[in-house]
Amino acid sequence: MDGFRRGTDERKFKIKIKRGYILTASVCMLIAVSSIFASARSDEEILMDIISDRTDILNEFYSGRIEKDEAIERITAIEAENLLQDDIENIEKYFRTDIERIKSYSFKNIAVTKSKENMICADVTMLWDTEGAGEEESYESTYNVICYKEEKNYKLVQFF
């Protein structure tokens, strides 16, 4: 009878150990999955971040808050292809004239039209408050936007 009890106790102990391992593994898996979803940004957030960065860089340059070299360096980090070439060309040619300054901007709507592993396409509607040549203006514009993923970061390749 004593041997039977010992065998039963060992089995119960092994079952408790297995349950502990399963519970620990389940908790670790739950933490891993939730951290993956928590750290992943939505397509809309990616677009808002990169468009905001571009807008801020160009506005800082055109308003004289950053120098040409810094503007080119920063814009190169977030853009590619023809858009990058056009923006660098515009920065190089800029002569302090009466260009509109952006007072504020906001995103009214972001409609993602295509999303793949390495590309996001969207129609982005923005609200702008600008000032220039002695007058202020508010307006709304919709842009066709494309971002491609290069290595780990997205770069803006189209914004018109």
Predicted structure pTM score: 0.76
Q: 113 phi and psi, to 5 degrees?
A: -100, -25
pLDDT digits (tens, 9 = 90+) for 30-87: 554 444 444 579 999 999 999 999 999 999 999 899 999 999 999 999 999 999 999 9
Rg (CA), the chain: 27
Q: What are the structure tokens assigned to 21, written together?
A: 């391992």
Domain ranges of the chain: 1-40, 43-159
Architecture per CATH, domain 43-159, reads as: Roll (3.10)
On whether the CB atoms of residues 88 and 75 are closer than 8 A, the answer is yes
pLDDT digits (tens, 9 = 90+) for 107-160: 999 999 999 989 999 999 999 999 987 789 999 999 999 999 999 999 999 999
